[in-house]
Amino acid sequence: MTQIEAYIAEHEQRFLEDLKGWLRIPSISTLPEYAADVRRAAEYAAGQLRSIGLDNVRLIETKGHPLVYGEWLKAAGRPTLLIYGHYDVQPVDPIELWQTPPFEPTIRGENLYCRGACDDKGQTMLVFKALEALITTEGGLPVNVRVLIEGEEEAGGESIEHYVRSYPERLTCDAAFICDTHMPAPDLPALISGLRGIIYTEVEARGAVRDLHSGTYGGIAPNPFHALALIIAGLKDARGHIHIPGLYDHQREAPAQEQRFWQEDPLHLAETLREEMGVAQLSGEPEYPPLQRIWARPTLEIHGFVGGFSGEGAKTVIPANGKVKISMRIPPDLGLKAEEVYRLFERRVKELAPPDVEVTVRKIHAGEGVLVSPEASVIRAASAALKETYGREPVFIREGGSIPIAALFNDILQVPIVFMGFGLPDDNLHSPNEKYSLKQFFRGVRTVARFLQLYGAGA
């Protein structure tokens, strides 16, 4: 047992007490009546960072809830790691489904139950404790760190985005570490190697100058919803293939290791998703493995239509105009920025539009994907740390959705991102009876401490 491991083992109870104190503060960021609690939780985090021995610890005021910042920049010649977490939590409804009060941390069996136990106070606290263990036993950290904790992750994250975009020079670093994800199974360490980006659009078709009666005009009137259906059918076929010229022109091959994982799906992730959906067969491009389809292939989804008659019964109207919400997920391997995909999409929509309607395309929002190279030194360090703690190589998985903070760090700070979290699939995030595995918590402390050592040593 190393000196650090001994320190961690010796202080387990206090670590848990420090976490419980934080968990008792109901820092629900979306509900205005909890604003004072949210601030108390920020102050609690700042107190932790000070007691660990970080410098320059402070609350950064924003238009919303404060950010918490601290740094330790005394490891000359060593890389700097930006550590991210969040101290706000989800609401607790439906409260009657909680077995114990949502803000009373309770240990049952091998788990600690409380809102935020995992997401993200538990995961953030284990990083704090790794820093404490290193500073206390070694007199300092093996790398430089900046810690930036936000209080609006569950409420849109506007303040941190504004801060990162406004002051990137205050966050200079060589890599970012986000401890807010989970592992696919208790003994299976994982690192996230990619996130898809997104464009979210609204396509509008306009026909006549006013709504028309289908009896009088049916046969000579433009029908905007029919036009939208033709456009959609032209964009994606029944087998999930997207027909947008240029979309695949810059596609890059994923690393062989990932491709093998997608093909083999040793964790049966696709089967789990199929069961969750309650469908007999998975949809989508049949020639690609399901994991590739959700992680590394572009998608095009219809979310809903706006306008026309959508009430009960019948109304014989040919609507003057109609809109449809369409988004695309953009895997980072595609080699295109979100804006580039948007332009290809817009061009294709206009090309598919029947001549009797006027079609406009509007971008509602867009976000870049993130690709993490397994070869980056920070990833190799995280991977090696996980292997030491869990006794096996981590798998590289992806997220099909976006994590806005990751895209932000990637985009503005231009650094590789380590997504290494210790949550488990049954942690009930955002649901009643959220919990965190105590074993995962302490394994997490050891893993993160080891990760920083290896990263500092240039592993």
Interacting residues with a second copy between 342 and 361 (CB under 8 A): 354-356
Backbone φ/ψ region at 223: left (φ over 0), alpha (ψ -120 to 50), beta: beta
265 to 294, contacts with a second copy by CB under 8 A? 270, 273-274, 277-279, 281-285, 290, 293-294
Measured from the CB of residue 295, what is the shortest distance to a second copy in angstroms? 8
Site for a second copy contains 243 (CB under 8 A): no
Interatomic CA distance for residues 338 and 397, integer angstroms = 22
Binding test (CB under 8 A) with a second copy, winner from 200, 345, 396, 422: 200
User: Using an 8 Å Cβ cutoff, are 145 and 83 in contact?
Assistant: yes
Residue 77 interacts with a second copy (CB under 8 A): yes or no: no
| Alpha-carbon span 141 to 84, nearest angstrom | 17
CB of 192 to a second copy, least distance (A): 13
Q: Is 276 exposed, middle or buried (0-12, 13-18, 19+ CB in 10 A)?
A: exposed
Q: Which stretch binds a second copy (CB under 8 A): 149-157, 184-192, 295-303, 441-449?
A: 295-303
Nearer to a second copy, 139 or 278 (CB): 278
Pairing of strands 321-330, 197-206: antiparallel
Q: Which residues contact 140 (CB under 8 A, 6 or more apart)?
A: 72, 74, 75, 134
Confirm or reject binding of residue 401 to a second copy (CB under 8 A).
yes
Q: Under the criterion CB under 8 A, does residue 97 sit at the interface with a second copy?
A: no
Q: Does 219 bind a second copy (CB under 8 A)?
A: yes
Q: Do 156 and 396 form a contact (C-beta atoms < 8 A)?
A: no
Among 316, 351, 431, 457, binds a second copy (CB under 8 A): 316
Is position 305 an interface residue for a second copy (rule: CB under 8 A)?
A: yes
252: tokens are 């890059």
**In contact, 334 and 250? CB cutoff 8 Å:** yes
For residues 108 and 430, which CB has a smaller minimum distance to a second copy in the complex?
430
By CB under 8 A, which span of 65-73, 219-227, 377-385, 421-429 interacts with a second copy? 219-227
Residue 1 vs 314, nearer CB to a second copy: 314
306 binds a second copy (CB under 8 A): yes
Please report whether residue 399 would count as binding a second copy according to CB under 8 A: yes
Candidate list 75, 232, 267, 438; residue touching a second copy; CB under 8 A: 232
Kindly list the distances between the CA atom of residue 310 and the CA atoms of 134, 210, 313, in Å, as whole numbers in the listed order. 61, 17, 9
90, 153 Cβ separation under 8 angstroms: no
